[in-house]
Amino acid sequence: MTKTAVDLLLQAMETRAGKVQVATLRQVAPQAADKLLEARLLVATGRIPVVAAMDAYEDEPIPAEWCPERGQYGYRDSVGRWITVEAAEIAACAVDYPLVLAKMLVAFERAGPSRPNPLIDGFVWDVGTIRLTGAKSPVPVWFARRLADPAVWTKLGSLLERRPPEEVRVILTSTTGDRIPVTNHKRNIFMSVTDVLRAPGKLAISPQVLGARIFPGQRQRRFPIEHSEDCGIVWFHDKEYRFRGPKHRQILSMLFEAYWAGKPVLRTSEVLQGGDHVHRDTKVTTLGRAFSGRSDWRDFIREAEGNCWIEV
């Protein structure tokens, strides 16, 4: 598995219909799409009869219709000519959630149903329970997709009201951390899968990373500053800072690596351009722009004369 394949799989999970044309996936990332299909993480599921027709020099998505007489799919262009559409062009695939979730949680001691139990059809599943360091008892786990969709979020909120956890519940999601809405259900901890994977290109979730994110007080911390393994949490003196966006965590990772190596000062331009997840927009030339919307990072990061560093 590659990082591109994992990212493509999570993107497929976030589609509105929960399925996508194979041809579209292959246009985006052909090798990654083939790997997912070969591993049966994506499986064939009918067709999506929509094509992009080149008509009057403009791409226009139009429906492909079945013609019983011709025994084929196609559409009529602006002058009425029949244009044949090959079945492979509109073949669709969907995520095999039981297999994907089993692979995500392979490193955990898990109990529960052999197949995920749907709680909101097509969007939220009960995966069972897992053992986590720091938890007194097995922790219930759900999986949800499209949490940035207001309709899904509203339905999930109603479900959480009806089914509160006894202690804590982990809700894993394919939605990226910076797109997960804020919730008042404090015992339900939402965690983007990309934030807790063992490594880029690995679908398995790290028990150590997940445990540190769910029970941060359990880890032995250095003073006055410490961070979780993925830099999603920073502790500075008696304050805790949470960073949900991948570009923020990548910046922090580079700065902390330099800090612990005893050579803390880095060129800001190098920090902003480093790593797969960092914002590469040429307009983002300072950490202030990269961390737009918050200023608490300035409690422990300094920036001056084109350089930046951790300072405690």
Residue 118 and residue 28 share a domain: no
Residue 74 and residue 10 share a domain: yes
The rounded mean pLDDT for the chain is 88
Residue 278 and residue 177 share a domain: no
Residue 254: pLDDT band with limits 50, 70, 90: very high
Question: Among 32, 64, 95, where does a domain finish?
Answer: 95
- What percentage of the chain exceeds 70 in pLDDT? 92
Give pLDDT tens digits for 47-57. Answer: 887 776 655 44
Residue 101 and residue 122 share a domain: yes
Residue 217: pLDDT band with limits 50, 70, 90: low
Question: Among 218, 243, 269, where does a domain finish?
Answer: 218
Residue 205 predicted with pLDDT over 60? yes
- Give the total number of structural domains in the chain: 3
Helix, strand and coil content of the chain, in percent to the nearest 5, comes to 30, 30, 40
- Which DSSP state fits 250? H
Residue 79 and residue 7 share a domain: yes
Residue 78 and residue 116 share a domain: no
Give pLDDT tens digits for 275-295. Answer: 444 445 557 889 999 998 899
Question: Among 194, 218, 242, where does a domain finish?
Answer: 218
Strands laid side by side in the 239-242 sheet: 225-227, 233-236, 239-242
Residue 73 CB coordination number (10 Å): 20
In terms of residue numbers, what domain contains 17?
3-95
Report, as an integer, the average pLDDT of 188-206.
90
Q: Helices 30-38 & 3-13, crossing angle to 10 degrees?
A: 80
Residue 99: pLDDT band with limits 50, 70, 90: very high
Report, as an integer, the average pLDDT of 119-129.
97
**Predicted local confidence at residue 162, as pLDDT:** 95
Give pLDDT tens digits for 24-74. Answer: 898 889 999 999 999 999 999 988 877 766 554 455 677 888 888 888 888
Residue 101 and residue 13 share a domain: no
Rounded alpha-carbon distances, angstroms, from residue 103 to 41, 198, 311: 10, 12, 40
Residue 103 and residue 146 share a domain: yes
**Predicted local confidence at residue 161, as pLDDT:** 95
